[in-house]
Amino acid sequence: MSRIVVGVMGPGEGATDEETNLAYELGGLIAQEGWVLLTGGRRAGVMDAASRGAKAAQGTVVGILPGTDVTGMSAAVDIPIITGMQEARNNINVLSSRVLFFIGMNAGTASELALALKAGRPAILVHQPNDVVRGFGAMAFGGLEAVADAASAMQAARRMLAAAIE
Amino acid sequence: MSRIVVGVMGPGEGATDEETNLAYELGGLIAQEGWVLLTGGRRAGVMDAASRGAKAAQGTVVGILPGTDVTGMSAAVDIPIITGMQEARNNINVLSSRVLFFIGMNAGTASELALALKAGRPAILVHQPNDVVRGFGAMAFGGLEAVADAASAMQAARRMLAAAIE
Amino acid sequence: MSRIVVGVMGPGEGATDEETNLAYELGGLIAQEGWVLLTGGRRAGVMDAASRGAKAAQGTVVGILPGTDVTGMSAAVDIPIITGMQEARNNINVLSSRVLFFIGMNAGTASELALALKAGRPAILVHQPNDVVRGFGAMAFGGLEAVADAASAMQAARRMLAAAIE
Amino acid sequence: MSRIVVGVMGPGEGATDEETNLAYELGGLIAQEGWVLLTGGRRAGVMDAASRGAKAAQGTVVGILPGTDVTGMSAAVDIPIITGMQEARNNINVLSSRVLFFIGMNAGTASELALALKAGRPAILVHQPNDVVRGFGAMAFGGLEAVADAASAMQAARRMLAAAIE
């Protein structure tokens, strides 16, 4: 049985403190659950914070890197996957995750959310503004859920994974 | 001097008649302008209609196909580019286009719009609902414009290309 | 009916004069045949020479570029396809070509030849050393042919395309 | 500190018993060394055997899958990376591996070896025929080594990793 891999997606350099704090907390909960954390791998914003949170809780962290080497990688990544594909790697982030959490929003994150909806991967919007939830909600086919905090995000993910297995 | 390549993006199977009519008209105007039309290449919805419109006006049509062969290709594609990358090819659609037109909206199209904003490619929303314009407008850095019809879309594209060259 | 796209692959910076002369000649013959030339798009070696040859004969040249913009592109490319995928774009070169010509050999070119054999695309080795022909010959399933010059390469390509259509 | 990821590449369906036995042994040695094993992820030939060998020795196995889901995955994969890119994923196999071992040879494996030489990743040919060693040896810039068995392969890898760190 392969391990359960879940993704945490969100802004890099432009992330707010609130977003990185939430990502750190969620990364820790993911590790405690025994799941593998997957992120975009860079040492910036939401992906770095989630990776550090998972690492502090003895989790396993996979980073799907955009460049052709490990330049700029988060120090909390255990297993670097080097794609050399820049933003086209976003589709790998999405396909490889059984569930995806979205914290904060920018163009790169929106591309991952849209690709998740396209691929039918369950997406959990954590503490997102109402207009983001509404805008993407119209494009989802039952696989999108909005929650207020990290604990509720984990509950939603457990429920979605259980539903997918049945 | 290489030719000017512009993309038309939009839903495949789920496109409305209004959207395919608009795409056909815009494809024709793009061909008359001497630009090369680039689409996702499939025989469906907005990409097929734009390709047929360009073809009817003696234009050149490039189709960036998701599969590993030409199965399902629009009959109006002159030059098939076969990627075998499924949705990851959306980033190639975006990077290869000097300007992108968006007609209609679904998850795949939203991923292309988000990737265009991420890559700094000018994006023109043609006859889109207000909430799409607002939602993505918040993520753009000056490169997003909403227009009502095909003629205005061409005007906006000419202006954006001229600004990019200066 | 889409146009017939054929690829010319070979070393960039390390190409010899003999190889670039042969590529220039072959590019011209491809254009005269009415086929579209596809190359790796850069202003270097075999791909640049083939592109210039095709251009001088009023052909159409598609360049599948490795970077995220047109930096370093051959001036003879008509239609730049921008992948941002570095060497992973080699598989697109291969899949998009109905027949591939190989002039000269290095690691990048060898990856394209191997991917062509894997994908079942007919490959024509033009003026290659015997050990290259033997080494790759062992991996081909009938789709590999070695020829001595550009005219014989065109003959082989016409025959292979006719066989593929039957 | 991220973990050391090394790749084992070779034929899938066409692998010989000798090749899969060697791959199983090498997979076990990689796990005992504390390295992460990376393969093409499918339940076939060299990649499946290496993965089972690593798993039996309590190792961690990453599978870089060609499809858009886990269909056909080796049961010994811990962490599936789903690319949806078919053969273009071979470049990710190569870039993500600090050292690559090659057992057996066919077109897909040859593409990975060529891409490794192109990317400057050290490549170890394990029990390969002389003509493969000679053919690719001519394209390598110091990063290619041929060995006779699994124990010598590990020695070569340790030496190459040490040289890369210095």
What's the pLDDT tens digit per position in C14-54?
Answer: 999 999 999 999 999 999 999 999 999 999 999 999 999 99
Q: How far is C47 from chain A (nearest CA, A)?
A: 22
Does D140 contact B at CB distance below 8 Å? Answer: no
More confident residue, A139 or A43: A43
Does A64 contact D at CB distance below 8 Å? Answer: yes
Q: How far is B103 from chain C (nearest CA, A)?
A: 22
pLDDT tens-place string over residues A117-157: 999 999 999 999 888 888 888 887 778 999 999 999 999 99
Q: How far is A22 from chain C (nearest CA, A)?
A: 32
10-residue mean pLDDT series, chain D (166 residues): 96 97 98 98 98 98 98 98 98 98 96 96 93 82 90 97 80
3-state class of D12 per DSSP?
coil
How high is the pLDDT of residue C165?
A: 67
Percent of chain D beyond pLDDT 90? 88
- Residue C2: CB atoms within 10 A of its CB come to 18
Chain B: list its partners (3+ Cβ pairs within 8 Å). Answer: A, C, D
Work out the pLDDT band at B142, boundaries 50, 70, 90. Answer: confident
pLDDT tens-place string over residues C147-161: 999 999 999 999 999
Q: Which residue in A65, A85, A91 has the most chain C C-beta atoms within 10 A of its own C-beta, making it the best mutation to test that interface?
A: A85
Does A62 contact D at CB distance below 8 Å? Answer: yes
How high is the pLDDT of residue C41?
A: 98
C-alpha closest to that of A131 among B144, B104, B131: B131
Contact C139 D115 (CB under 8 A): no
Contacts of C17 (CB under 8 A, 6+ apart): none
Beta bridge partners of B101: B8, B124
How high is the pLDDT of residue A166?
A: 54
Residue D64: list chain B partners with CB under 8 A: none
Residue whose entry in the numeric block shows the structure tokens 């590449």: D9
Least CA distance to B89: which residue of chain D? D85
Residue whose entry in the numeric block shows the structure tokens 């010899």: C16
Residue A87: list chain C partners with CB under 8 A: 84
Q: Quote the CA–CA distance of C15 and A155 in Å, as a whole number.
A: 59
Q: Which two tokens stand for residue C161?
A: 């395309």
Does A129 contact B at CB distance below 8 Å? Answer: no
Once rounded to an integer, what is the mean pLDDT over residues A74-90? Answer: 98
Residue B96: list chain C partners with CB under 8 A: 80-82
Work out the pLDDT band at C114, boundaries 50, 70, 90. Answer: very high
Contact D84 A78 (CB under 8 A): no
- Using the predicted structure, report yes or no on whether residue C141 has a pLDDT greater than 80: no
Burial profile D129-142: b = 16 or more Cβ within 10 angstroms, e = fewer: eeebeebbeebbee
Cα A150 to chain centroid distance, Å, stands at 12
Residue A81: list chain D partners with CB under 8 A: 62, 64, 81, 92, 96
Rounded to two decimals, the pTM is 0.97
C-alpha closest to that of C92 among D112, B91, B83: B83
Once rounded to an integer, what is the mean pLDDT over residues B121-128? Answer: 95
How high is the pLDDT of residue B166?
A: 55
Residue C83: list chain B partners with CB under 8 A: 92, 95
Beta strand extents in chain C (DSSP E only)? 5-9, 36-39, 61-65, 79-82, 99-103, 123-126, 144-147
Q: Which residue in A4, A83, A90, A121 has the most chain D C-beta atoms within 10 A of its own C-beta, making it the best mutation to test that interface?
A: A83
Least CA distance to A64: which residue of chain D? D81
Does A120 contact B at CB distance below 8 Å? Answer: no
- Using the predicted structure, report yes or no on whether residue B141 has a pLDDT greater than 80: no
Q: Which two tokens stand for residue D59?
A: 């190792």
Least CA distance to A115: which residue of chain B? B111
How high is the pLDDT of residue B99?
A: 98
How high is the pLDDT of residue D165?
A: 67
Q: How far is C86 from chain A (nearest CA, A)?
A: 6
Q: Which residue in B68, B81, B83, B86 has the most chain D C-beta atoms within 10 A of its own C-beta, making it the best mutation to test that interface?
A: B86
- Per the CB < 8 A criterion, the answer to whether D136 and D114 are in contact is yes
Q: How far is D74 from chain A (nearest CA, A)?
A: 9
Does B87 contact D at CB distance below 8 Å? Answer: yes
Q: Which two tokens stand for residue D123?
A: 């490549």
Work out the pLDDT band at B165, boundaries 50, 70, 90. Answer: low
Q: A86 to each of A71, A93, C58, C150, how far by Cα in Å? A: 13, 12, 35, 37
Least CA distance to D87: which residue of chain B? B84
Torsion of CA D80, D83, D87, D90, to 10 degrees: -60
Average pLDDT, chain B: 95
Average pLDDT, chain A: 95
Q: How far is C79 from chain D (nearest CA, A)?
A: 22
Once rounded to an integer, what is the mean pLDDT over residues A78-99? Answer: 98
- Using the predicted structure, report yes or no on whether residue C104 has a pLDDT greater than 70: yes
pLDDT tens-place string over residues C57-83: 999 999 999 999 999 999 999 999 999
Q: Quote the CA–CA distance of C29 and D15 in Å, as a whole number.
A: 41
Q: Quote the CA–CA distance of D33 and D121 in Å, as a whole number.
A: 20
Once rounded to an integer, what is the mean pLDDT over residues B59-75? Answer: 98
Contact A82 D92 (CB under 8 A): yes
Does D69 contact B at CB distance below 8 Å? Answer: no
Q: Quote the CA–CA distance of B102 and D84 in Å, as a whole number.
A: 25
Q: What DSSP designation does B73 have? A: B
Q: Quote the CA–CA distance of D4 and C147 in Å, as a whole number.
A: 45
How high is the pLDDT of residue D60?
A: 98
Contacts of C85 (CB under 8 A, 6+ apart): A84, A85, A86, A88, B92, C66, C92, D88, D91
- Per the CB < 8 A criterion, the answer to whether C88 and C64 are in contact is no
Nearest by CB: A80 against D2, D60, D84 = D2
Once rounded to an integer, what is the mean pLDDT over residues B75-101? Answer: 98
How high is the pLDDT of residue B140?
A: 78
How high is the pLDDT of residue B133?
A: 85
Q: How far is A126 from chain D (nearest CA, A)?
A: 24
Among B43-57, B106-120, B134-148, C95-109, the range scoring the smallest mean pLDDT is B134-148
Contacts of A36 (CB under 8 A, 6+ apart): A3, A4, A5, A6, A59, A60, A61, A62, D79
Q: How far is D5 from chain A (nearest CA, A)?
A: 7
Q: Quote the CA–CA distance of B43 and B55 in Å, as a whole number.
A: 14
Residue whose entry in the numeric block shows the structure tokens 């955009």: A66
Work out the pLDDT band at C135, boundaries 50, 70, 90. Answer: confident
Residue whose entry in the numeric block shows the structure tokens 């030059």: B79
Does B85 contact D at CB distance below 8 Å? Answer: yes
